[in-house]
Amino acid sequence: MSQNLNWNLNDLYLGFDDKYQSDLEKLDKLMNDKIKLLSTENMDKVLFIESKLKLEEEIIKLAMTLHSYASLNLSTDVTNSEAMTYLSKVSRILLKSTKEDVKFTRFLTSVDLDELSEKSSIIKQYLFILKEEQTNGKYLLSEEEEVLYAKLQELSSRSWSQLQNIATANLETEVNGQKVTFSDLRNLAYSDDPNIRKEAYKKELEIYESVDDFVALALSNIKREVNIVNELRGYKNALEKTLLQSRMKEETLNAMIEAMKSYRIHFERYLKAKAKYLGHEKGLPWYDLFAPVGKLTKTYTFDEAKSLILDAFGSYSDELRSFAKKAFDNNWIDVLPKKGKRGGAFCSNQPQIGQSRFLLNFTGSLDNVFTLAHELGHGYHGEQIVSNPPLHWDYPMPLAETASIFCETIMKEYLLSIYTNDDEKLSILELTVQSDTQVIIDILSRFLFESKVFEEADRPISKNEMKQWMLDAQKEAYLEGLDHEQLHPYMWLVKGHYYSAGLNFYNFPYAFGLLFGKGLYANYLKNKEAFLEKYNTLLKMTTYKNAEEVAKYMDIDITKKDFWIDSLEMVKKDIDLLVNLFEKK
């Protein structure tokens, strides 16, 4: 029997009701208590830090529930004004202590945390994040400036981000005589009808013309804001700040990017082989990037997808399968696309209630099944950190993709084990390599594009410049694998990741996650029993260790290009198999 295809948020709240209002007042009181504490003069240093940490634990549990309920409601209806209002209220309450938070961070720069940690178990427990805050202290503005910026962000970058969200979510057009939403239109790229794929691509570019002027203004102003504030804070650039947030060294990023660039020729070979298979002469046109091939062109009901995933996850471990079953049985997933629902897919971990929520735009393609496996991987990651203390519930972007990519790999290997003839293998390998191409080559193009925008963001940037830079980035990343007359100049408009002032370069972490996840899977194959014993611990560690330390726990050195090359070799093996299958046809 099929489950409810809308998620159930009742374990958060039943609505913006009396309980929600009461918790909102409680959060406000906790913030006032925090302000009072941080304004106290001459308190014992150990007691001062301990009291702050204990208050923060209470605040994060309550704020996460309040914020998530509003945010999750808004994600399924971007015009929900009530959810929008409460999201703003929660944000304003959390901003109340900005001035005092700045003072506390400055205070941390004046103490010996190692010495204090010997006198306090809670300081020792949170030593990593306290030292991280200590480092961030040198990039702070004055208390008054931090307060002003925090308040103005809601009217500047956050509003520009909301504009992009609303502009895209409410887009509609007609394809093949039928009205389709923005999410539906994007999903038509996976249609098994080549004419529909091509028409959807053309319609997609057409409808962006109706919003490109003001969405370009939104992106331009967000990046200009980031550059101005980063300069005032003393960062070299946006990338330096992102690497600090990512808990990752620049030498690690450089090693990975260089490895990715050196393997572009293999992805180019795959794209040309697929183009030839589909009857194209000049490289693959953008609208056929996601064209299904082989004999696995069936669409899946959600129940079928659920069954497939449970079997695949069960082939790895009973624990992973049990987690996925719990998500299905308890209606943690919002499944279908609809007007006003944001595009794409995401997982929202809710460790304060020991759960997660998953948003999909499921239309039944095999790719959608992989997406579901990916998001459930995020949820499994969330399941592992539930036992961490509250201030160790947050992990940086690169490590955030570890479990999701790992679960995608489990899915691929399982499908290859149950589908054995060449036509079936062609479908699975093509979908896998297609996904890898997005996460390595398209991510490279996005990284190149965003780097260019930041270089130029000391002035307004026009939509035409953005379109050209996106085309340039796609040519550099995809080489001759794509038809240069059939690219996608509007990829900057459709990807919400560009529209956050607080999370810049939300691209390379996906490549990191893919290659790190594949490297981990290779370790799993070498010694499954030993790997299973360490893997859950690794996921817990992602919240209180940097990327290099997490990798070292598995005897991996990610600062060296060799590791990334070894991971890319795993992708190349799939490309070699796939190209051979294409050439047989």
Report the alpha-carbon angle 281-285-290, nearest 5. Answer: 120
**Longest Cα separation, the chain:** 78
Which DSSP letter does residue 17 get?
S
pLDDT confidence of residue 2: 46
Q: How far is CA 242 from CA 118, 226, 364, 505, in A?
A: 31, 11, 36, 7
**Which of 316, 269, 299, 258 is CA-nearest to residue 447?**
258
Give me the DSSP letters along 506-541.
Answer: -SHHHHHHHHHHHHHHHHHHH-HHHHHHHHHHHHHH
Four-CA torsion 122, 142, 85, 495, nearest 10 degrees = -90
2, with CB counted inside 10 A (0-12, 13-18, 19+), is exposed
The amino acid that residue 285 corresponds to is P
- For the chain (585 residues), the mean pLDDT of every run of 10, in chain order, is 80 97 98 97 95 98 98 95 96 93 93 97 98 93 89 92 88 87 85 92 94 96 97 96 95 97 98 96 95 81 96 96 97 93 92 98 90 96 97 93 91 88 88 93 98 96 98 98 97 93 92 92 88 93 96 94 93 95 87
pLDDT confidence of residue 523: 86
For 156-171+211-330+365-585, CATH gives 1.10.1370.20
Q: How far is CA 62 from CA 12, 66, 67, 356, in A?
A: 10, 6, 9, 16
Q: Rounded distance, CA 4 to CA 10, Å?
A: 14
Report the alpha-carbon angle 55-57-63, nearest 5. Answer: 95
How does pLDDT run across 319-336, given as a tens digit for each residue? 999 999 999 999 999 999
Q: Rounded distance, CA 77 to CA 58, Å?
A: 29
Q: Rounded distance, CA 200 to CA 412, Å?
A: 28
Q: Rounded distance, CA 197 to CA 195, Å?
A: 5
Q: Cβ distance 575 to 433 under 8 Å? A: yes
Report residue 532 as tokens.
């299973």
For residue 474, the number of C-alpha atoms closer than 13 Å in the C-beta half-sphere is 23
Q: Cβ distance 510 to 401 under 8 Å? A: yes
Residue 547, beta-bridge partner list:
none
pLDDT confidence of residue 3: 60
Q: Is 474 helix (H, G, I), strand (E, B) or coil?
A: helix
Q: How far is CA 550 from CA 400, 525, 535, in A?
A: 12, 19, 11
Q: Rounded distance, CA 215 to CA 200, Å?
A: 21
Tokens 């972490």 belong to residue: 509
Q: Which helix (H) or strand (E) holds 491?
A: helix 491-494
Q: pTM (2 decimals)? A: 0.85
Q: How far is CA 468 from CA 317, 452, 461, 464, 498, in A?
A: 47, 11, 11, 6, 17
Report residue 481 as tokens.
């694998």
Question: What is the domain class of 18-151 according to CATH?
Answer: mainly alpha
Per-domain boundaries in the chain:
18-151, 156-171+211-330+365-585
pLDDT confidence of residue 434: 93
**Which of 577, 440, 565 is CA-nearest to residue 511?**
440
Residue 346, beta-bridge partner list:
359
How does pLDDT run across 76-121, given as a tens digit for each residue? 998 999 999 999 999 999 999 989 999 999 999 999 999 999 999 9
CA 191 centroid distance within chain: 25
Q: Is 342 helix (H, G, I), strand (E, B) or coil?
A: coil
Q: Cβ distance 405 to 516 under 8 Å? A: yes
pLDDT confidence of residue 335: 96
Which of left, alpha, beta for 455 (phi over 0: left; psi -120 to 50: alpha)?
Answer: alpha
Q: What is the number of other CB atoms lying within 10 angstroms of the CB of residue 156?
A: 16
